[in-house]
Amino acid sequence: MDQENNQVIENESTGNVQVPKAEGNDDIFLAEQTAVEETPKKANPFVQIIKGLAYFLFFLAAQIIATFIVMIGFGIKKAYEYAAMGMQPADAAREVAAYMESQTLSNTNLILFINAALLVLPLMIIFAIRKKNFFVETRMRKFSPKLLPILLLITLGIGLFANSALNLLPTSWMASYSQASSFAGEGTLIGSLVAQAIIAPLTEEITFRGLMLSRFNKGLPAWIGIVISSGLFGVMHGNPLWFFYAALLGAVLCLIANRTNSILSTIMIHALFNTLATVLVYAGFEFPGKPILAIVCVVGAGILGVSLYWFFKATKVTA
């Protein structure tokens, strides 16, 4: 076993000090190991809440700026075209405003790319200036391959449950959700998969489960940090129906991030979940009738419950 694996390792998200198991168990994940010292005193909760919320505001600021850049870019392009046509300024202004709104909604993938650049690059620079490791601060660590089957089952359970539950809701409730989801199908499938299944999970996990949750964990009980992080994750998605399923997904991802002390595991789940949703939109998938959806919903909930139980047994930590 490497010398590094023989050292006492401190779990930064929970404060537990843990010791690797005996020789021959190199690939056993850290969360399976037994804590040998008591958890140190929590940091000042108010300071940690402020730090966590600061990262959330930074994420929102990057998103707003990215949206503004896209709006202005398309607005200037269309204004130039209308000016060349000799359109009256008042008429041109109305048309440009409408065009900017439509292009903003239909270019969410472009906004995600710009948002990622505005978020990740400054964070890497800030941590470098502070002489901190970006990957450590964001909990971007390896996790045991032995957890892969469980994590894939969790993903399957969430996907079946969330998609079927949403489509069991009254049609009138789904109108705004369907309209918002349709914009995810703009552009090419490859472009949407890169944006929705790689870029979005990466930036969101870095922010919500990497930076925010780890700060909350230092000063608050774990469950409070999970509630705040998953709640803000739901709010960030905007649409009321998106709030509920995003908050549910966020809570599950928070639990997994805390148990594995790694967001690579949650990035994988998030990416697979978004891949399924994106492919369904592009394929124009028609969901079956409500009786079948109800069965799928129950099956999905069962798979999710059993896989989470299995996950918690496999990553059990004794304080």
pTM of the model: 0.81
Range of the domain at 276: 44-314
For residue 11, pLDDT over 50 is answered with no
**14 or 58: which carries more pLDDT confidence?**
58
Answer yes or no: is 1 within a domain: no
For residue 95, pLDDT over 50 is answered with yes
Answer yes or no: is 281 within a domain: yes
- Percent of the chain with pLDDT strictly greater than 90: 53
- Percent of the chain with pLDDT strictly greater than 70: 80
Answer yes or no: is 60 within a domain: yes
Number of folded domains that form the chain:
1
Answer yes or no: is 302 within a domain: yes
**Average confidence score pLDDT of the chain:** 82
Answer yes or no: is 111 within a domain: yes
The 3-class SS string of the chain reads CCCHHHCCEECCCCCCEECCCCCCCCCCCHHHCCECCCCCCCCCHHHHHHHHHHHHHHHHHHHHHHHHHHHHHHHHHHHHHHHHHCCCHHHHHHHHHHHHHHHHHHCHHHHHHHHHHHHHHHHHHHHHHCCCCHHHHCCCCCCCHHHHHHHHHHHHHHHHHHHHHHHCCCHHHHHHHHHHHHHHHCCCHHHHHHHHHHHHHHHHHHHHHHHHHHHHHHHCCHHHHHHHHHHHHHHHCCCHHHHHHHHHHHHHHHHHHHHHCCCHHHHHHHHHHHHHHHHHHHHCCCCCCHHHHHHHHHHHHHHHHHHHHHHHHHCCCCC
For residue 4, pLDDT over 50 is answered with no
Answer yes or no: is 276 within a domain: yes
Q: What is the mean pLDDT of residues 30-51?
A: 63
**4 or 199: which carries more pLDDT confidence?**
199
Q: What is the mean pLDDT of residues 65-81?
A: 90
For residue 72, pLDDT over 60 is answered with yes
Answer yes or no: is 140 within a domain: yes
Instruction: Write the pLDDT tens digit of every residue in 162-181.
Output: 888 888 877 766 666 665 55
Q: What is the mean pLDDT of residues 38-64?
A: 87
Q: Note the pLDDT of residue 17.
A: 36
